[in-house]
Chain A
């Protein structure tokens, strides 16, 4: 489609591309056992954790970077990355009021007020800046119900028994190249524990921000919902605009004990690089949950940022009657590449999984859905339904689907539906004839396409996600 009004729309500026001028305590570039020890030392970690890190590091040295994803990039020099950077502050923070005003301002600019009075009612936030957590809100109120929501470092100090019990229980340090790297150098992240039978009364949210140049962010999130508990958790991410690629290799582990429900939503808006593919975040993330008997894990992700996305939020359906869900919208524009999807590993009997993936490709973006549905011999009577839709905008982008289905018993059902459509000139013209301009028309059509996923997001974030989608597709039809 050629329409001058569209061609003249330049790619909208990445709104979150600013840098906070704050003094940072960064360690020199490079990775070695000494660096692992240094990071662990900076956090006053117990010996068992240092050992765990070192083991992961030694394992990582023997591993090779995976090249099976359908993405291309220049080799990463792992010695040219800063593995730890923290904003300097004089003392440990007693409360958010003591935090550096520049940090508070940064989060305000991002639309994340850390002042509890100004917070969205019912959302508790943990803010991670480069390598450390700079503040968690509503902690006291959550604690009244026994809910632990704090930075990972704090959890290591205050609740070592829980961390030791569950760390690596879903994603072992040896799981894959990036998970091993993360296990060696992870700096901070969020920790959540919801006790037996407790329904967490508010959305928990972590906001990740990479600030310092040449820094990698390696956060680690661990969420444990004890028997019959419920928690809904959301993460958001942004980074400054820089010409160099920055590495983000996170690990998220979810443990849903019998009868528990964990809902994990992501709105990922890391800097995507410019229109020539210079700069942007390499988002290489391992996310996995384990659902015990009658437990449910639901992943919802809206992926609009990053130069390269490599992530497969997965569920191990360990228990009988467990439920796994994956709802995804992945948008690529400009030169972005995404290889994303999920793994549903059915082990328990009568376990059920649902996968709804919506891929939108615009500009010269390349979008791949990669999904594995595995029914093990024990998982009799289990079901999976997968729906995988791709939408193409323009004629220089790509959409690919790689479904892997492995059924090892005779009583399970696996359904896979897939569709590819091109956003049509006729659809756009129809909307224009009803008074909508091209941008609003595309936004309307794409939002309709993603409806099934957006309805899974918590209300406030669904609105954000819709706006974000509009912004990331601006200028996409040329």
Chain B
């Protein structure tokens, strides 16, 4: 059984149709890259999988671990192991990172029928996780993303991912706004979290991130449809040739 099975998924924001029949299969252990020009629906796909209320699913189905994913509330999806690293992480003033991470960690534990951990024990849990993003403990007393630089916000997303240990991680433009050092830290964090039983979907506009997080499959999304799929070499081809040729092909319907 595949971990994630997306069949002919359509979704809209208000009146505007954005996804027009996306199909994709993701198995445990795989890394899939979703590429495409701006406005092609990449981020929408990520948000719809996480259950963002701004989007309405108008057709198709999504099965996650044999269950109808679209039938679950966003928090249930999270508790069952679907994680979204946000393109624009949200600030929560007054709430410390430590408190927020522990709240999230305990929700996952509760969903698994495990006991919640208290703040003291959580310090031990965190110690390991902080290494993933090469951070010291001082970050824990800062308020969630408040006053964080763009790079810090993205690192914080990966820290949250490390704490929540998802089965399916969806990284939405995690490379945008990162300098080369932050990119390296974020990418190596993601790589450290890779397990044979987990899967990752990397949504990105640029090939750059894929030098660090090497995908097994690359899919090109144009106009709300996957118009071409291939191996990692497809990403290099896109980098070299841009998106125009593929948009032209999509327009003629010449791509299988």
Contact = CB atoms under 8 A, between A and B. Distances in A.
Interface of A: 1-3, 5, 424-427, 429-438, 440, 444-445, 447-452
Contacts of B86: 430, 433
B69 to A, nearest CB: 13
Contacts of B100: 434, 444
A434 B164 contact: yes
B75 A436 contact: yes
Contacts of A449: 93-94
Contact of A5 (B73, B108, B111, B143): B73
B90 A432 contact: no
A445 B91 CA distance: 10
A436 B103 contact: yes
A440 B75 CA distance: 11
Contacts of B53: 1-3, 425, 429
Interface size class of B (residues with CB under 8 A): 20 to 34
Nearest to A444: B95
Contacts of A447: 94-95
B252 interface: no
6 contacts: A429-B52, A433-B74, A433-B84, A434-B78, A447-B94, A448-B95
A432 B93 contact: no
A440 B103 contact: yes
A327 to B, nearest CB: 14
Given A430-B86, A434-B164, A435-B164, A448 B94 contact: yes
Residue from B75, B90, B92, B104 whose CB has the most chain A CB atoms within 10 Å: B75
B38 to A, nearest CB: 20
Contacts of B75: 432-433, 435-438
Interface in B151-172: 160, 164
A450 B94 contact: yes
B95 A435 contact: no
Interface in B66-95: 73-75, 77-79, 83-84, 86, 89-90, 92-95
Interface string B96-110: 000110011001100
Nearest to B107: A435
A447 B73 CA distance: 23
A427 B88 CA distance: 11
B92 A432 contact: no
Contacts of B52: 429
Contacts of B51: 432-433
Given A434-B107, A437-B75, A448 B89 contact: no
